[in-house]
Structure 1
Amino acid sequence: MRAAVDAATAAGAPTMPVAELRHDSAVLRPAQVLAIGANYAAHASELKLRSESTMTIFSLWPNSLAAHGGTTTWADDVAPQVDYEAELGVIIGTPARNVSPQDALDHVFGYTVVNDITARNIQFSEAQWSRCKSFDGFTPTGPVVVTADEIADPQDLWLTTNLDGHVMQDASTNEMVRSVAEIISYLSKTATVPPGTLISTGSPGGAGYSRNPQVFMHDGSTVTVTIEGIGSLTTHCRVV
């Protein structure tokens, strides 16, 4: 990627400040979007979920992908309890099949920020978690993808969530129950994880659902998820 940029610059290609550009989702046509549930003990505890001896894995539907700076809209009568979840996103670069944890990170292309927006009223009324997290625009990603060589250790990154000016989540990826390497290795034991796959690795404690009083995103809310070394992902909310 650096070589391509250097070549374009040397050839006199025109440039434009990032501030003048409109973002798209960090991944546009992922082979699949996989999510890991209850991967931080504090989050599992506050939602009264169990961190099982094996991973909780579910799919997010591609229509849910959204961009940094965008607006996510939902109907209040369908989802009156919409919550935020800060997550580290992992993008697979080369096929991972039956890899060890020691070799798993070699298959990572890069990392991004994910806000795993969740309709809690639906999550706790159904036996699966895909639909409650797969409304249109419920998986914002970005603002960029940082290549794997830029992240020395994915288990040493700080995550925060700011909702309407208030810090709601504040934790480190070293609090994961299962590391990024362990997640990739586990997934690869039963099926090849293809290039372009986005893995959302779970959220730390501080969810709005578990607070007293509960805190949910509402019409006009702005939520920003930040991961050090990657950037800040902002989503505007519209309830109709």
Structure 2
Amino acid sequence: MRLAVVRIDDHATPAVLLSDGPQQWVQPVSLGDAETADPWLGWLRAGADADAITPVGQRVSLAEAQLAAPLRRPGKIIAIGLNYADHTAETGLEAPAEPLTFAKYSSSITGPHDEIRIPKSVTTDVDWEAELAVVIGARCGPSERGTRAHIAAYTVANDVSARDVQFRDGQWTRAKSMDTFCPIGPTLVTADEVSDPHGLRIYTEVNGRLMQDASTADLIFDIDFLLDYLTETTTLEPGDLILTGTPPGCGGFRTPPLFLGDGDLVECGVAGIGLLSNRVRYF
């Protein structure tokens, strides 16, 4: 299934995507007692019962639907830095001997077509990072280490990064956690639809120009390793997000550097998972 959230009368309504040949539809659904203001997060935390998903109302064309972030406030967003060898090389840093982890605040999440809003008094050097994101479906941790069996779904994320703030601070959280700096979506693709998450094309275009183009097969630490590594010390809970890293082609490491400007359109995609399309606005 492809799980979405659609805005209807300023209300976040859970929905599923349906296909009828080339036509795609968004079907609003009820999640019964599991439904909350963050509907799919509530559903995941309630046990992800597929039988609780009931169609309601009229389906609408995907082209006419206003999709919101499929998760609004997961308990944790754990991101992995320098997890593609060629990206590590373009930064001039050494490849890590073990996964390099950092956090993004959940308040940085925004929708797949919403604006990335950048405070120009704080940063002007804002970069893109296309990432395959893992959505946890079942609790795992030191007493039961994480495996792919604990994954509920996959989605696309853009780990938007203020490079000037990142390097000035000497740590990464603030630079990567500003409001709207984590577009996700457009849907959650349930794990049963992804036979192997290693080998998917991952890419970014800015104003139609291809900037990143690689494969998740190039991950230094694959998803199985990341889950085992993270749960050695940390309990993962339903709805938690893991951003698995970005490939080469970021703007801040080009010669000369290239950063997002006001009005730019940044599109991050993972084949078979989906495409984010966000306009940049400085304020």
- The TM-score normalised by the length of structure 2 is 0.79
Q: Is the 8 A contact 2:73 2:107 kept in 1?
A: no
Answering whether residue 227 of structure 2 is matched by residue 180 of structure 1, we say no
Match of 2:266 among 220, 223, 232: 223
Q: Deviations over 1:147-182 (max 9, x none)?
A: 001111111110010001100000000100000111
Give structure 2 stretches of 5+ with no counterpart.
2-15, 17-49
Equivalent pairs, count: 235
Q: Contact conserved, 2:131 with 2:157, CA < 8 A, in 1?
A: yes
Quick check: 2:75–2:106 contact (8 Å CA) kept in 1?
no
CA distance in 1, matches of 2:199, 2:52: 29
Stretch deviating more after TM superposition (121-130 or 155-164): 121-130
Secondary structure of the residue that 1:189 maps to in structure 2? Answer: coil
Residue 110 (1) aligns with residue 153 (2): yes
Aligned match of 1:195: 238
Shift of 1:13: 4.3
> What SS is found at the alignment partner of 1:178?
coil
| Partners of 2:208 and 2:127 in 1: CA distance | 16
Q: Which residue of 2 aligns with 1:33?
A: 77
Shift of 1:61: 0.6
Give how far 1:212 is off.
1.4
Distance 2:116 2:54 in 1: 38
Tell me which residue corresponds to 1:14.
58
Task: Percent identity, please.
Answer: 37
TM-score by length of 1: 0.92
Structure 1 unaligned segments of length 5 or more: list them: none
Report the aligned-residue RMSD.
1.8
Residue 76, structure 1, aligned to residue 120, structure 2: yes
Letter in 1 for 2:71: V
Could you say which residue in structure 2 is the equivalent of 1:213? Answer: 256
123-132 vs 47-56, which deviates more? Answer: 47-56
Shift of 1:20: 2.2
Do the aligned partners of 2:127 and 2:252 also contact (CA within 8 Å) in 1? yes
Compare 132-141 and 190-199 and name the one that shifted more: 190-199
The secondary structure found in structure 1 opposite 2:67 is coil
2:189 match: secondary structure: strand
Aligned to 1:130: 173
Report 1 or 2 for greater relative contact order, CA contacts < 8 Å, sequence distance ≥ 6: 1
Change (3 A) 1:181 1:204: same
1:97 paired residue number:
141
Q: Which has the higher strand share?
A: 2
- Distance across 2 between alignment mates of 1:232 and 1:47: 25
2:107 maps to amino acid? N
